[in-house]
Structure 1
Amino acid sequence: VAPILRRLARAETSGEEAEVIRELQEMTSDRADGARLMLGDLQRAFVSSDVRVRETAFAMAMQVLRSAPHLADRVVAAFLVALDHPDSEIARAALTLLPEIASLCRDHASELLEAGFRCAIGTVVGVESARIVGRAVAAVHLDFSNGKAHMPL
């Protein structure tokens, strides 16, 4: 994993960065320990101007949260930066994942929902944003009331 992390640090273009993140994701798909090593780079990847980098980083974050929930603090910290980002495309990409992140990170639900509301009101106002935040609230509510970690349809 170390050579891949070095390549990620040296990546000069977003295309190179996306390729390295995808490679790391494939390599660590069944091992939370390898994904954990990449968590330091998540914040940078979550706010990348390249949509491929962001999507791959978000997918990897979900993988980490499912396989190693004890690492939620680090993923949530990076995710909050993306939700509060001044670029509306980056904030919108993070906002679309809010229901799933809130469902997987119940201990951080209030912090996530507060940031989601700020994002929806501040940068991405619209009906779709309100629906996304509503789904996040519903997901957290279902998790607490039923003890299940699943998303409502």
Structure 2
Amino acid sequence: MEKKNVDDYLTEGIYGPKETKRSEREKFLGTIRERIVIALTKGQVMSDKGLTKLDEAMQQNKDAKLLINGDVSYRFLKEEKALANKYDIPYTEIINKEAETDIGAVLTYDHAIDKEHIFIEDEPVGEKNQEDDTFFSKIKRWFG
């Protein structure tokens, strides 16, 4: 490892310590993708979609930790925190006002696991008949 020179100390003082994969860390609540077991979007956290997948992941990865986006309201995070407490998994709320992310919660390790699929696919909603969605058909049903 090289010795730091004056320029390194000045740069670190101005911009902070050097980080690897800064954009990934901003997106994934302070961790990098290769360490993630499962990631939930804000929408999945707020609608409780993916709770069963998160439960399964926590059962299988009891040494992991849960990172929660602090921008999501507390009332939407109760179930995720309850699951973490159920399996004795530590959780941390991450608040980073400088970074915008659509990630709501991440189950992660401190080391790389290189899991290929970390996102939960939203279940497709059943196809609706387009006639049922029109304004006039709704009025017709209401009066009919």
User: What is the TM-score with the length of structure 2 in the denominator?
Assistant: 0.28
User: What is the TM-score with the length of structure 1 in the denominator?
Assistant: 0.27
Which has the larger share of helix?
1
> Looking at CA atoms only, which structure, 1 or 2, has the larger radius of gyration?
2
